Amino acid sequence: VRLLPTKVMPCLIAARICYQHLNQISEGMQWSMKALARQTSHPQNLLSRCHLYIGIGAHYGAVISHLKQEKQRLHSLAAESFLKSQQNDPNDHLVEYYLGLQCASRAQVSEAIAHTKAALKLCPEHAPSLHLMVLLLTAQKQLTEAHTLLDTALQDFPDNLNLLYIKTHLQLQTHGPEVALATAKQMLSLWKILYEEQVQQVQGEQSDTRSFFQLYTSEMSDKDSSSLHAHSLAASRVEQALSEVASSISSFTPRPGPQRAWLLQLQVWLLVAEIYLALDQVSAAAASIQEATSIFPLSHHIMYTRGLVHEHKHEFMEAKQ
């Protein structure tokens, strides 16, 4: 970027890295704004893409924001940026896709479907648009159409774990847990094929160091352990749960390799747990949750699925906690 002070593309690449790999939304938006400033002063036929990247940052910023006014401001900025991008390049399928995604995130399903159809018309093989369209069809209870589109998409993208994940969910609702379990096991096998080599390569490069979670929880335990007392049965259960979480955190070391891949495997294990509950195989569901816990013990999705297990066993107080 410093060596090419007037070029737009390096700024856009930096923004994409921030969005896609570093989860740094604010920094990504700053790079996108810098790209727009360079495009304005030195036109390089990238005006549409600059507005698109600003819109992407604003959209994801709105999704993660907990402040109502900030969320509304970012949603407005995203919509404005996407429309500007569309005006400058009406044939860009990515603009239509993100317009559809933003509408979907705001529960504007009809508008989202219209934009997603436009994206697929411009680029029929765009996997994220296919993914979004399937989700929108399920939101409208058009399960047959969703199944048809999903099967067609998987013919073109047989290794797409996101599409297989949706397929498993749909099968659980429409074809029964046995069929869904077979697809979920296929996903785990496919994950191993796709990511095991990457994980082994990274594992060989890593050194043995304590993680942030280990450092934090060791200090937390020293300060707070004396304040936990079991004054009642409910309190003792809470203490036990906290102890389990602290134990999981203190022994937690981030898995080597791409973290998105591990989070995807976590979601698959939790889905497998739900399928086993539908099959009334509680011990198998608990084992699946344990596999997910070994990946990322702090996930709130794990706590939710544990609650489902307690609910299935009619342990409603434990489920509530």
| 79-104: average pLDDT | 95
Are the C-beta atoms of 60 and 19 separated by less than 8 Å?
yes
Residue 232 confidence (pLDDT): 41
With a pLDDT cut of 70, the percent of the chain lying above it is 80
Residue 320 confidence (pLDDT): 80
CATH number, domain with residue 166: 1.25.40.10
Q: Are residues 189 and 63 both part of a single domain?
A: no
User: What residues make up the domain containing 321?
Assistant: 174-200+234-321
Distances (CA, A) of 222 to 162, 189, 216, 219, 279: 42, 42, 10, 5, 43
Pick 213 or 321 by higher pLDDT: 321
- Residue count of the chain, please give it: 321
Q: Are residues 85 and 165 both part of a single domain?
A: yes
Q: Are residues 16 and 157 both part of a single domain?
A: yes
Ranges 181-190, 245-254, 263-272, 282-291: which has the least confidence: 245-254
Whether 205 has a pLDDT exceeding 80, the answer reads: no
Pick 276 or 248 by higher pLDDT: 276
Q: Are residues 167 and 288 both part of a single domain?
A: no
Asked whether residue 131 is domain-assigned, the answer is yes
Asked whether residue 318 is domain-assigned, the answer is yes
Q: What distance in Å separates the CA atoms of residue 71 and residue 101, rounded to the nearest whole number? A: 16
Whether 172 has a pLDDT exceeding 60, the answer reads: yes
Whether 286 has a pLDDT exceeding 80, the answer reads: yes
Q: Are residues 136 and 251 both part of a single domain?
A: no
Highest-confidence segment of 16-25, 75-84, 203-212, 238-247: 75-84
Asked whether residue 223 is domain-assigned, the answer is no
Q: Are residues 47 and 125 both part of a single domain?
A: yes
Cα 153 vs. chain centroid, distance in angstroms? 20
Q: What distance in Å separates the CA atoms of residue 78 and residue 11, rounded to the nearest whole number? A: 19
| 26-35: average pLDDT | 96
Residue 200 confidence (pLDDT): 67
Token readout for 246 is: 């602290």
Residue 104 confidence (pLDDT): 94
Whether 215 has a pLDDT exceeding 70, the answer reads: no
Q: Are residues 313 and 190 both part of a single domain?
A: yes
Q: Are residues 153 and 281 both part of a single domain?
A: no
Whether 287 has a pLDDT exceeding 70, the answer reads: yes
Q: Which of 44, 45, 36, 43 is nearest to 15 (CA)?
A: 36
Are the C-beta atoms of 191 and 161 separated by less than 8 Å?
yes
Counted domains in the chain:
2
Q: What distance in Å separates the CA atoms of residue 191 and residue 262, rounded to the nearest whole number? A: 9
Residue 315 confidence (pLDDT): 87
Q: Are residues 26 and 144 both part of a single domain?
A: yes
Q: What distance in Å separates the CA atoms of residue 30 and residue 14, rounded to the nearest whole number? A: 10
| pLDDT band with cut points at 50, 70 and 90 for residue 57 | very high
Asked whether residue 73 is domain-assigned, the answer is yes
Q: Are residues 28 and 113 both part of a single domain?
A: yes
Asked whether residue 4 is domain-assigned, the answer is no
Residue 257 confidence (pLDDT): 58
Asked whether residue 219 is domain-assigned, the answer is no
| pLDDT band with cut points at 50, 70 and 90 for residue 321 | confident
Q: Are residues 184 and 166 both part of a single domain?
A: no
Residue 32 confidence (pLDDT): 97
Token readout for 151 is: 């099967």
Alpha helices in the chain (DSSP H): 9-17, 25-41, 47-64, 68-88, 93-105, 109-122, 127-139, 143-156, 161-174, 177-205, 212-224, 233-250, 259-278, 282-295, 300-312, 316-320
Whether 261 has a pLDDT exceeding 90, the answer reads: no
Whether 240 has a pLDDT exceeding 70, the answer reads: no
Asked whether residue 228 is domain-assigned, the answer is no
Asked whether residue 292 is domain-assigned, the answer is yes
Residue 195 confidence (pLDDT): 84
Q: Are residues 181 and 289 both part of a single domain?
A: yes
Burial of 123 (0-12, 13-18, 19+ CB in 10 A): middle
CATH number, domain with residue 311: 1.25.40
3-state secondary structure of 208: coil
